[in-house]
Each structure stands twice: as C-alpha cells, then as structure tokens.
Structure 1
C-alpha cells in the first residue's frame, strides 16, 4: 500500500501528497460523486452516509460515518470548485464544533495514467493543526486512500 506523504511546511498547515494509479477524470469523479465518496471516504470499513454534497461554490457538504462506536459527522462549504483541477472547502468535525480548517485539493494529471492529489489544510492555530495530527488522522487518511485505490482499480 502506498502511504500519503504528510508534512507540516508551516505552523498552521498540513500538506498531503498522494499519487493514484488512475486517470484524472476518474479520480475527480471519485472525489465529487456522492455514490463513490460513500464507498471510500473514511476507509471503506464504516458505512458513510452522504447527507449533502453540492459540489459548487457556496455548496454545502455533510458526511456521517457510522461505526461500532457510534457516528461521526463532518461538514463544510465549497469555496471554489474548478473541475478536474482544484477544490477549496471548509472542513469541520462535529466533535470539535467551531474549529474549522480550510482544505485546498489540487489534481494533477501526471501524463502516464496516474493522478497526483495534493491537499493543504490550513488551521486557525498551530494547536488545532497539532490536534488533528494527533487524532489518528494519518491512519484514517491512509485507510481512505487505500479504499480509493481499490475502488479505482475495480472501475478500470
């Protein structure tokens, strides 16, 4: 399994890079189609209900992951959507209301059937960034990306 490269280039940022073995159009679709999101977001082990997903500037998104220990809700607003290039959105977890990060995801066609997704999350404070890093986020992210790999391989 390929792990995401996770770095902290600035006091309030988390930078993530991951290459997927699929063309840009398929990776973009996996990020923007509610039926596909429900299959990989959260690692694929829990049931994810996509309550809202309005992929447009100002649109609202909300996902709820249902696991053995209860449910976790996540939501935000799309600030920018440039098809097959970039998504800028807010990200908030129900467990920490009021702590909102701004995530910028860019999608790069590597020209060989692979796509690089680069995500930068900007937090309000360094403490919020460090809280996210210590929350188990890296494990959850890599589980989600492994589930996305499996979905992309199945669709090829």
Structure 2
C-alpha cells in the first residue's frame, strides 16, 4: 500500500525502492490536520521498528508562494543518528526534489 489517509487518525504506508532495487517501507498515523497550515503525524521506518518520530509539516503562505517547513522530533539522539546513517537526509532531499518537479509542471 503506497497511500496515506490524510485525516486525523488516518494511517498510511509507503514502500520506496532505490536504484539497486532495495525496498524501504515506512508507516505512520496522522494526529492533527489544520488545513492549509499544518500536518502532524508519526513516522516509523520499518527497518528499525519501535523507533517512531513525530513529524510536523507547516505551510507558510508567502503571497503566491509557499514555504514548507518539515520538522522531525526523535525519541532519542541515537534514533536520529541512526536514521541519518540510513540515508534519511538524502531521502528527504530526493522527496523535496520530486515535489519541486511536480510543482514546476503546474
């Protein structure tokens, strides 16, 4: 299932594949939705079960443009460091690049 049900209590799961065909699955639950300002959800990489982060995405209106702020709060610094070692930063950058490409298509 590569889908997120964007509603309070809505769950989702997504599987991503890298260039070598390795799969990386993630799941979570939406806890708050303030349209069009903010989303709050949990997010868990299935490769490290039990290490759940809290993600808050805020959309700031810049008058015809939008600033997206994505903040992740980890249970421990060790959890954060482990996700960084697993490539979370690169994955997030790739996701933002894909979003920018979609938005450029208009």
Query: Is TM (by shorter chain) over 0.5?
Result: yes
Other-structure match for 2:56: 104
Q: Which one of the candidate residues 18, 30, 35 is aligned to 1:78?
A: 30
- After TM superposition, list the pairs within 5 Å mapping 1:45-124 onto structure 2: 50=2, 52-67=3-18, 68-111=20-63, 113-124=64-75
| Residue 82 of structure 2 corresponds to residue 137 of structure 1 | no
Other-structure match for 2:105: 154
Q: Which one scores higher on RCO, CA 8 angstroms, separation ≥ 6?
A: 1
Q: How many residues are matched? A: 105
Q: State the superposition RMSD in angstroms.
A: 1.4
Structure 2 unaligned blocks of 5 or more: none
Distance 2:95 2:35 in 1: 22
Distance 1:136 1:70 in 2: 13
Structure 1 unaligned blocks of 5 or more: 1-48
**TM-score of the superposed pair, with normalisation by structure 2:** 0.90
Give the deviation of 1:134 after TM superposition: 2.6
**TM-score of the superposed pair, with normalisation by structure 1:** 0.63
Could you list the per-position Cα deviations for residues 102-142 of structure 1 after superposition, in whole angstroms to 9, with x for gaps in the alignment?
0011100111x211111211111111112222322222211
For the residue of structure 1 that corresponds to 2:78, the secondary structure is: helix
Distance 1:85 1:144 in 2: 20
Give the deviation of 1:69 after TM superposition: 3.0
More helix by share: 1
